[in-house]
Structure formats: C-alpha cells, structure tokens
Structure 1
Amino acid sequence: MPRNRPGHIRAGLPRRHREQNAKPVIDGLSPRVLSEIARLERTRNYLEPGETGWAVRLWKDHVRRSARELWHHYEHGDVHDYCCGNPLQARAVLDTVLRAMSPRGARELRKVIAHLDNQLTRSTHPPQVTGGGP
C-alpha cells in the first residue's frame, strides 16, 4: 500500500486560526511571562487569545494622548470606542490578568503597566512653572 504524502494529509485537516497559536508581544516582558500570558489566554474562559496584548496596546495609545485629547475624550465621549475599544475596559482586562498570574510574572507585567500609568499622570498634570522674579 503506498504511503500518503504529509501535504495531502494536512490538506484534509481543518485550518487552525492564527490567533490560537499566536504568542503575545509586549515590550519589556521576558519570554517566560509571555508564555504564562499565552497559557492564561488559552485556559481561562474570560480571556481570549491575544486579548492581553490588545489591552496593553490600547492602554499605551490612550496614555500617550495629549491632555487636550484626553479632556475632549472625557467631555464628548469617544466615537471610536465601538471600533477600536474602550481604554478603561482594556485597563480592567490588565487588572484581571494581573490577578490571575503568578506573583513573579505579575510583578513584571505590573512594572510595564506602572510605566504607562506614569505617562498618563505626566500628560494630564504638566509640571508647574514658577516665575523666577528678581
């Protein structure tokens, strides 16, 4: 009996979605922590694959906005929340992931998030300039 070629066998298998096997890409995290995040996203029913990376990117985009843009967003509401996501919801996802992680992994992710939170604080509260008179 002739052997089936591997390509023919693979052609008959259902295609896997790329998101199921994708590892999160978050700057500042070790490969061990990225693996832990990927495992959490696969095993927890309240997380989807890639959701943590999405939340970090959305929060990073939000905190890098100017104070004027943030104020406009607060006053008028953002019309892009329906397509791009709500940054406050993304921050809540990050808090949920932090609680589910091991202490060592959560410490690394918390450091990245704290850096982003500090950027938000600096953009909304510019440094005070005092007049140095004679």
Structure 2
Amino acid sequence: MPRRRPHALRSALHARRPSRPRHPAIDRLSGSCHAAIARLERESLWPGAVFEAFHRWKAFAHGPQRNLTDIPVAGCSIPECCGAPDADRDVLEAALHRLPRKPALELRVLVSVLDETVLARAVVIPGHPSDQRWWRNW
C-alpha cells in the first residue's frame, strides 16, 4: 500500500484555530491565580491588562527617581506614550476588587509591596478628598 503524501494528510485534518497570544506570568503567582486573571481579562478587561499594569507599576516603583514629587501623573492620558502610573494602579485596583478571594489575596500581596516602595518615595498630601485614591494625591 503506497504511503500518503503529507499535504494529503493535512488537508484531511480540521482547520486549526489560531492560538491566543500568551502573556508571560507574573512571578510568585499560582497557576490558579493566573487562570482567574485570564478569565477576568476575557470578561471585563483586555488580554494582558493586569500583566502590563503590574509590570509598569513595578517599573515605576523601582524607577530611577529619588522622590516622586515632580512626576506629571496625568501626562497625555495615553499610558503607552507618556506613562501613566495612576492608570496602571487603577487597573490593578479594579482587578483586585473583581477577582475571587484567593487570587485577589495573592495579587494584593505583590501589589502592596510595590505600593510601600512607591509610598516611601512619594509625597502624599493628606488634605485631598477621601474619595480619591492615594496614588492620585502626590
């Protein structure tokens, strides 16, 4: 019996769906936490939103500035252009409130370490209204 040619075999297979782009994992988070974040991004954010916001917030926390008093927070309101650390922190806060309890706790531990680093370098003005988040008050 003659052997089938590879193209004949491939044509008989079903068409493959293109795979979703995968984002690198956030260090020290469990697989179930990554799955919950991916589910949240599919349902209410965009793919990679939490990963991108976390890594930009981490880069901001460990950035070269000695103190954060002279950084324009608003910029041009395009995070990819001027960098808007307050927008990144808003995405993380939204994710922390929308995730289930255990994944939110895992992510909150990592974000709180970065928050402490930012607060050590920022000047937070306590006289602002309490409805604003602390990362918008420097």
- Scaled by the length of structure 2, what TM-score is found? 0.67
Letter in 2 for 1:94: L
| RMSD between superposed Cα atoms in Å | 3.1
What is the aligned length? Answer: 117
In 2, Cα distance between equivalents of 1:98 and 1:75? 22
Cα gap change, 1:90 to 1:50, in 2 (>3 Å): same
Shift of 1:64: 1.4
Q: TM-score, normalised by structure 1?
A: 0.69
Tell me whether 1:67 sits opposite 2:71 in the alignment.
no
Tell me the amino acid that sits aligned with residue 6 of structure 1.
R
Flag structure 1 segments of 5+ consecutive residues without an equivalent. 126-134
Aligned to 1:37: 37
In the alignment, the residues of structure 1 paired with residue 71 and residue 45 of structure 2 have an alpha-carbon distance, to the nearest angstrom, of 27
1:29-77 Cα offsets, whole Å, 9 max, x none, are 11110111111112x1x31111110000111111112234x33323895
Equivalent pair of 1:24/1:37 in contact (CA under 8 Å): no
Q: Which moved more, 1:105-114 or 1:77-86?
A: 77-86
Rounded to whole Å, the distance in 2 between the matches of 1:52 and 1:61 is 14
Could you tell me how far 1:115 is from its partner in structure 2? 0.5
Partner letter of residue 124 of structure 1? A
Amino acid at match of 2:41: E
Higher helix share: 1
Identity of aligned residues (%): 30
Q: Superposition pairs for residues 69-108 of structure 1, below 5 Å?
A: 70-74=68-72, 77=75, 81-83=79-81, 85-108=83-106
User: Which of 5, 8, 17 is 2:9 aligned to?
Assistant: 5
Matched, 1:52 2:56: no
Q: Does the 8 Å contact 1:63/1:120 carry over to 2?
A: yes
**Distance change in 2, residues 1:84/1:25 (3 Å):** farther
